[in-house]
């Protein structure tokens, strides 16, 4: 991660949590980061283009129906369409009323009323639909479901709830036949902390982890809603994140355990949760909070970056035989979540680290990218050349 | 504005009230590595090197200013401490290896400027005992870092209420002078005049009383009075290397003192025979016409001699432009930061914070000094000479601020450092500031590299390059993205 350079630090006045950042991709391929803080402020972070370079911009968005005294638990956003801006933003809040016994929790869903090419997030923030919850919300995320995008929300009632938009009246409602459409979400022993979903052909692979360390991976055929396989394992303690990823057509799963070393389960479709390796931990003094799987050095193999509560980022690399700790990078504050997206709009993704004090954007070193591009193009032309020659022969 | 968060830091405990000029970075022990020196209102001086405190000097009075420089003109640095009640202490590291060389230096140096008076009586009457604790600590590590502790080599009474201290050659005679700014609008300059009979070695060998073995004394040269309160004083050189003292005056103005006269004048004076070392200077006030109305009561910081990459480059290019002076910077408490060259404001920016400290440091290591300013609430702005800026916020009020080069380890190269003295009795040093560039740019792929992808039957390399050049930014970004991220 030596090649990552500090590009910008967006300060956030009060701390967020592992659920309070969301990427939002707009129709013109522009990427925004939304970040919420405990004290009700929600910021939109983006890069504006200026002749001299990139100008970072932070805007506080006044979302309606977030009463004073409420606290934001989780945030998620998506764009329903690929070509236009049909943005939907979901925010879960907890309202601490004067009567200390009653905690009211809500899922607020914000969406743009009319379709408009001009995207105005403040416009979206004014159009709110409130769903009252009878549980304490945890992770809010979205996924594809029958050509639609639905919200998934895990809660303190040990269930995962699915909210789907009614196309007639544009109202989000919890689907009642969840067991039919999402057979993987059965009642769990403790609240679901993290969910990751991978869509793969006509199959949906869902992994989720619970507060108590229960981890389940299920593959569902999305046409028949039949479970193709389901594997369960139990870790000794809290599992803050599970991440599925495809590597050479194998489905792998990274399980970040709070106090134990992260575990990587390989080729789940073939071996279930039996073929695993653990990633070496540097010390036992910190809590692992999050992870990111991406090829950040463009060598064709994915790296695993794990964030910790003492503000470290560990990068693990695979060297044909084993996973090893390649590098440690220190951040200014405990790491809450990691994203890898092209905020700058130049084709090269940035590593976006959300920490207790704000959002840190780390940019790839341009010289490094330039050299990598040269290498990649050379590799491509080596592959292409024999083909071209053959064509000439023909 | 771009902002950064900093990670690498050192924290030291140091209690007491710290005057703004009582913190400095410099090479005390002449080993080529900078140390951090800080003094407080209780007369305690702490010296930090690398990751530890190496010495504490106690028993002084309110430390108003500390500075490191070759005050005795011996080719080695001393620590100069000026207290608010008007005591000037000079501390030095005396190393055995240096003895032979320093002897030679002593002989070679001219000592013709000595006048016959003995050490000042004030220095003789009061003996401020300064004990150095580091040897008593019997901390092996400490003694390893600093073989010989700093010892006091000179004490002298000078006027009280000094708030600024500058060591520099203000009259271009090749000798370092001491310039002090007082709270009563007075600037004074001194020169250290050596006692020809004493050498550094005598000082350490003799058993005589300290006041008898002083190596010389500070002799007053000049006194100037300013119209208004002094913000800060700095040394500046014009294009022809002529020095001047710039004194920050309220409302973003300054007074310029030239100690060295124009060549013509100098000769005139010499023929009069009136010139006996006391060079009268020329003084002018600069108001720097700026459109924005400025509050005349607002204090001003000034900093001269900014190394400029641009000017160095233009000098190389065109012979004529050698008469461009290096720029200097001004900052006012109301948050205006200006870069000025030859009394013309190159640019000015206004920030919403009370800027109290103005320093320079080549943060990006591009050969050109950047301006580093800090406000009372910990907002730090790093500005290059083209007005690009980066912000860093220490989320804590700041008592004193300094920037410079620091050494974590004598074997490692120096690192950039921002030194904050907080109100919580800590010194925070952020080191190795990871800034290569103050502007954050989009990645721009090399066109020649990309064009290789488009060389085929229909396009030769030149046409392919032309094709790539004509691509719009978005499709270029898409191409880069697909090359990097698509399998």
Interface A-B, measured as beta-carbon pairs within 8 A, has a size of: 116
Distance (Å) from the alpha carbon of B262 to chain A's nearest alpha carbon:
43
- Is 90 exceeded by the pLDDT of residue B468? no
* Residue range A221-258, pLDDT digits in tens: 988 989 999 999 999 889 999 999 998 888 999 999 98
- Report yes or no: A246 at the B interface, CB cutoff 8 Å: no
pLDDT of B469: 86
ipTM (interface pTM): 0.86
- Report yes or no: A26 at the B interface, CB cutoff 8 Å: no
- Which residue has better confidence, B75 or A265? A265
Count CA atoms closer than 13 A to B322's CA, side-chain side.
5
Instruction: Give the H/E segment covering residue A179.
Output: helix A178-181
Instruction: Give the H/E segment covering residue A190.
Output: none
> Residue B320's pLDDT band (boundaries 50, 70, 90)?
very low
Average pLDDT over residues A12-24: 91
* Residue range B99-114, pLDDT digits in tens: 444 344 333 433 333 3
| Structure tokens given for A79 | 């764009």
Calculate what percentage of chain A has a pLDDT beyond 70.
94
The beta-carbon neighbor of A298 closest among B393, B457, B484 is B484
Q: Residue B479 and residue A347: Cβ atoms within 8 Å?
A: yes
Asked whether the beta carbons of A271 and A231 are under 8 A apart, the reply is no
> Residue B410's pLDDT band (boundaries 50, 70, 90)?
confident
* Residue range A70-102, pLDDT digits in tens: 899 999 999 888 888 888 999 999 987 666 667
Could you identify the residue written with the tokens 């463009």? A298
- Is 80 exceeded by the pLDDT of residue B21? yes
The beta-carbon neighbor of A370 closest among B442, B446, B478 is B446
Cβ neighbours of B3 in A, within 8 Å: 8-11, 56
Q: Residue A330 and residue B8: Cβ atoms within 8 Å?
A: yes
pLDDT of B392: 94
**Cβ-based neighbours of B271, under 8 Å, separated by 6 or more:** none
Q: Which of A29-33, A283-287, B87-91 has the lowest mean pLDDT?
A: A283-287
Cβ neighbours of A341 in B, within 8 Å: none
Q: Which of A203-212, A360-369, B326-335, B438-447 has the lowest mean pLDDT?
A: B438-447
Q: Which of B66-75, B145-154, B370-379 has the lowest mean pLDDT?
A: B145-154
CA distance linking residue B363 with residue B379, whole number of Å: 17
> Residue A114's pLDDT band (boundaries 50, 70, 90)?
low
Could you identify the residue written with the tokens 């006091």? B152
- Is 60 exceeded by the pLDDT of residue B122? no
The length of chain A, given as a count of residues: 394
Give whole-number Cα distances, A114 to A31, A119, A375, A384, in Å. Answer: 21, 11, 47, 48
* Residue range A149-191, pLDDT digits in tens: 999 999 999 999 999 988 787 788 998 888 888 999 988 999 9
pLDDT of B277: 45
pLDDT of A54: 87
- Report yes or no: B484 at the A interface, CB cutoff 8 Å: yes
The beta-carbon neighbor of B480 closest among A348, A357, A374 is A348
Give whole-number Cα distances, B116 to B195, B196, B197, in Å. Answer: 9, 10, 12
CB atoms within 10 A of CB A202: 10
Mean pLDDT of all residues belonging to chain B: 80
The beta-carbon neighbor of B481 closest among A53, A342, A364 is A342
Cβ neighbours of A366 in B, within 8 Å: 441, 443-444
Q: Which of B273, B336, B274, B272 is nearest to B302 (CA)?
A: B336
Cβ neighbours of B6 in A, within 8 Å: 332
CA distance linking residue A372 with residue B283, whole number of Å: 59
CA distance linking residue A162 with residue A145, whole number of Å: 10
Q: Which of A193, A271, A206 is nearest to A235 (CA)?
A: A193
- pTM for the model stands at 0.85
> Residue B153's pLDDT band (boundaries 50, 70, 90)?
confident
CA distance linking residue A44 with residue A58, whole number of Å: 6
Q: Which residue spans within B327-443 are E strands per DSSP?
A: 328-332, 336-341, 344-350, 355-361, 370-375, 379-383, 389-393, 398-406, 415-422, 426-431
Question: Which residues 296-325 of A have a C-beta within 8 angstroms of B?
Answer: 298, 300, 311
pLDDT of B96: 55
Q: Which residue in A has a C-alpha nearest to residue B451's C-alpha?
A: A377
Cβ neighbours of A11 in B, within 8 Å: 3, 393
- Report yes or no: A357 at the B interface, CB cutoff 8 Å: yes
Q: Which residue in B has a C-alpha nearest to residue A377's C-alpha?
A: B453
Strands across the sheet containing A171-174? A137-145, A148-155, A160-166, A171-174
The beta-carbon neighbor of B449 closest among A7, A345, A374 is A374
CA distance linking residue A293 with residue A159, whole number of Å: 27
- Report yes or no: A389 at the B interface, CB cutoff 8 Å: no
* Residue range A273-314, pLDDT digits in tens: 999 999 988 777 889 999 999 999 888 889 999 999 999 999
- Is 70 exceeded by the pLDDT of residue B317? no
* Residue range B33-42, pLDDT digits in tens: 899 999 999 9
Calculate what percentage of chain B has a pLDDT beyond 90.
43
Asked whether the beta carbons of A44 and A33 are under 8 A apart, the reply is yes
* Residue range B233-265, pLDDT digits in tens: 999 998 888 899 999 998 888 999 987 655 544
- Which residue has better confidence, A155 or A40? A155
Cβ neighbours of B1 in A, within 8 Å: 56
| Phi, psi of B450, deg, nearest 5 | -65, -35
Q: Residue A347 and residue B480: Cβ atoms within 8 Å?
A: yes
Question: Which residues 161-200 of A have a C-beta within 8 angstroms of B?
Answer: none
């Amino acid at each position: 991660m030596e090649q990552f350079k500090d590009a910008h630090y967006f300060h956030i006045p009060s701390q967020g949590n592992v659920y309070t950042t969301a990427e939002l991709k707009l129709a013109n391929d522009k990427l925004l980061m939304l970040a919420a803080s405990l004290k009700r402020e929600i910021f939109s972070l983006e890069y504006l283009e200026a002749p001299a370079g990139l100008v970072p911009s932070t805007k506080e968005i006044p979302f309606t129906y977030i009463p004073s005294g409420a606290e934001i638990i989780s945030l998620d956003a998506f764009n329903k369409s690929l070509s236009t801006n049909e943005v939907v933003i979901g925010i879960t809040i907890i309202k601490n009323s004067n009567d200390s016994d009653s905690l009211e929790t809500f899922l607020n869903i914000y969406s743009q009323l009319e379709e408009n090419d001009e995207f105005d997030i403040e416009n979206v923030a004014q159009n709110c639909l409130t769903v009252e919850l009878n549980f304490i919300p945890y992770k809010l995320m979205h996924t594809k479901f029958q050509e639609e995008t639905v919200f998934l929300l895990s809660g303190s009632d040990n269930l995962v709830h699915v909210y789907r938009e009614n196309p007639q009246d544009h109202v989000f409602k919890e689907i009642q036949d969840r067991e039919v459409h999402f057979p993987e979400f059965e009642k769990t022993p403790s609240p679901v902390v993290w969910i990751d979903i991978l869509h793969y052909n006509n199959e949906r692979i869902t992994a989720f982890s619970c507060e108590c360390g229960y981890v389940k991976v299920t593959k569902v055929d999305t046409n028949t809603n039949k479970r193709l396989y389901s594997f369960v394992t139990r870790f000794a303690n809290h599992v803050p994140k599970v991440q599925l990823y495809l590597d050479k057509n194998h489905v792998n799963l990274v399980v970040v355990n709070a106090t134990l070393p992260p575990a990587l389960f390989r080729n789940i479709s073939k071996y279930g949760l039996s073929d695993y390796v653990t990633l070496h931990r540097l010390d036992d003094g910190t809590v692992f909070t999050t992870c990111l799987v991406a090829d950040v050095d463009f060598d064709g193999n994915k790296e695993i970056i794990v964030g910790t509560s003492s503000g470290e980022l560990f990068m693990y690399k695979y060297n044909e035989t084993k996973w090893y700790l390649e590098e440690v990078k220190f951040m200014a504050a405990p790491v809450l979540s990691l994203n890898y997206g092209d905020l700058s709009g130049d084709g090269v993704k940035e590593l976006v680290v959300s920490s207790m004090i704000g959002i840190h954007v780390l940019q790839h070193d341009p010289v490094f990218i330039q050299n990598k591009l040269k290498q990649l193009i050379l590799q491509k032309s080596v592959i292409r050349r024999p083909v071209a020659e053959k064509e000439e022969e023909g | 504005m771009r902002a950064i968060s900093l990670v690498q830091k050192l924290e030291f405990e140091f209690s007491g009230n710290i005057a703004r000029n009582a913190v400095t970075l410099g090479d005390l022990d002449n080993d080529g590595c900078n140390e951090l020196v800080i003094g407080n209102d209780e007369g305690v001086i702490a010296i930090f090197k690398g990751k530890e405190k190496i010495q504490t000097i106690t028993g002084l009075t309110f430390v108003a200013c500390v500075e490191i420089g070759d005050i005795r003109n011996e080719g080695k640095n001393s620590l100069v401490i000026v207290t608010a009640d008007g005591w000037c202490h000079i501390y030095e590291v005396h190393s055995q290896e240096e003895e032979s060389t320093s002897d030679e230096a002593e002989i070679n140096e001219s000592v013709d400027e000595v006048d016959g008076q003995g050490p000042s009586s004030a220095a003789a009457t009061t003996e401020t005992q300064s004990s150095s604790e580091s040897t008593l600590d019997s901390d092996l590590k400490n003694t390893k870092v600093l073989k010989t502790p700093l010892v006091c080599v000179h004490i002298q009474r000078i006027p009280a209420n000094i708030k600024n201290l500058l060591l520099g050659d203000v009259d271009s005679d090749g000798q370092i002078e001491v310039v002090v700014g007082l709270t009563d609008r007075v600037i004074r300059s001194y020169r250290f005049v050596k006692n020809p009979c004493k050498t550094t070695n005598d000082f350490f060998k003799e058993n005589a009383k300290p006041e008898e073995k002083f190596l010389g004394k500070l002799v007053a040269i000049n006194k100037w009075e300013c119209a208004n309160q002094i913000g800060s004083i700095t040394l500046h050189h014009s294009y022809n290397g002529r020095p001047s003292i710039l004194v920050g005056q309220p409302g973003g103005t300054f007074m310029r003192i030239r100690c060295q006269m124009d060549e013509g004048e100098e000769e005139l004076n010499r023929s009069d025979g009136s010139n006996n070392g006391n060079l009268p200077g020329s003084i002018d006030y600069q108001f720097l016409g700026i459109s924005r109305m400025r509050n005349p009561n607002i204090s001003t910081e000034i900093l001269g001699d900014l190394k400029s990459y641009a000017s160095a480059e233009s000098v190389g290019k065109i012979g004529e432009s050698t008469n461009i002076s290096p720029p200097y910077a001004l900052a006012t408490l109301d948050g205006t930061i200006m870069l000025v060259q030859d009394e013309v404001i190159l640019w000015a920016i206004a920030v919403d914070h009370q800027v109290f400290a103005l320093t320079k440091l080549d943060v990006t290591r591009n050969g050109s000094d950047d301006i580093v300013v800090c406000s009372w609430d910990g907002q730090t702005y790093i500005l290059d000479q083209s007005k690009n800026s980066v912000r860093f916020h220490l989320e804590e009020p700041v008592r004193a601020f300094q920037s410079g080069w620091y050494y974590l380890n004598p074997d490692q190269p120096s690192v950039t450092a921002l030194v904050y003295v907080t109100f919580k009795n800590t010194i925070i040093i952020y080191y190795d500031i990871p800034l290569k560039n103050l502007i954050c740019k989009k990645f721009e792929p090399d066109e020649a590299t990309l064009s290789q992808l488009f060389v085929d039957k229909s396009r030769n390399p030149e046409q392919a390059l032309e094709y790539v050049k004509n691509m719009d930014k978005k499709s270029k970004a898409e191409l880069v993205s697909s090359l990097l991220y698509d399998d």
